[in-house]
Structure formats: structure tokens, C-alpha cells
């Protein structure tokens, strides 16, 4: 199945729903499980449907880029939870998926 090209908000909504989507310039994409900003994992949808975003913004001193920060803030509006990056990167719920990234 081909990824549908959508605007940023609709990519986040597709991720929340477990669907494939990407922006036209591919800066934000999802395979329905992983939410990626420029290839960086910023969100994960668990098998239960629960969604978690890593807070990669200047506020947490884990700034990736201005655009990624915008993606994180947008995804955080729709996610069930937003976690500090150190927790996000080291939680078993996240680390068990890292080896399976399709990108």
C-alpha cells in the first residue's frame, strides 16, 4: 500500500489512527506505528493504540531542529502522552521497536 501524501496535521492524525501517511516533502511521515520527523523517531503508537511522543524541543534541552520541534508540538496535541526524551528513548515500550524501524 502506498503512503498517502497529506498535510502535517493529517499525517499526525493518520499516525494516531494507525495509517500510512507522509508530507509532500517527506519531512514528517508515519507507517502507522512510528512517527518520524526527518528520519528521527518522535512518536510511537503501541499495539493497544496508545500514542507517545518524545519531547524533542528546546524546553527539554533535547532540541533536534526548529521543524522537528514544530512536529513534536503538533503531535503532542493528538498523542495520549508526551514523554521527556530520556524516558522516551530508554523505555522498553520504545526500545523494543527501535530495531524494527522501516526507514
pLDDT digits (tens, 9 = 90+) for 7-54: 999 999 999 999 999 999 999 999 999 999 999 999 999 988 999 999
Give the angle subtended at the CA of 28 by the CAs of 56 and 16, to the nearest 5°.
Answer: 85
Instruction: Give yes or no for a contact between 9 and 21, defined as CB atoms under 8 angstroms apart.
Output: no
Q: CB count, 10 Å around CB of 15?
A: 29
- Around Cβ 8, how many Cβ atoms within 10 Å? 17
Residue 95 confidence (pLDDT): 59
Helix or strand holding residue 75 (H, E): helix 66-78
Instruction: Report pLDDT digits (tens) over 75-97.
Output: 999 999 999 988 888 887 665 66
Amino acid at each position: 500500500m502506498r503512503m498517502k501524501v497529506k498535510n502535517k496535521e493529517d499525517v499526525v492524525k493518520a499516525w494516531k489512527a494507525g495509517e500510512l501517511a507522509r508530507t509532500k516533502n517527506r519531512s514528517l511521515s508515519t507507517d502507522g506505528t512510528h512517527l518520524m520527523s526527518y528520519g528521527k523517531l518522535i512518536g510511537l503508537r503501541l499495539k493497544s493504540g496508545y500514542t507517545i511522543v518524545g519531547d524533542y524541543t528546546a524546553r527539554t534541552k533535547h532540541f533536534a531542529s526548529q521543524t522537528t520541534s514544530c512536529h513534536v508540538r503538533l503531535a503532542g496535541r493528538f498523542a495520549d502522552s508526551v514523554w521527556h526524551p530520556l524516558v522516551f528513548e530508554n523505555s522498553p515500550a520504545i526500545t523494543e521497536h527501535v530495531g524494527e524501524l522501516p526507514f
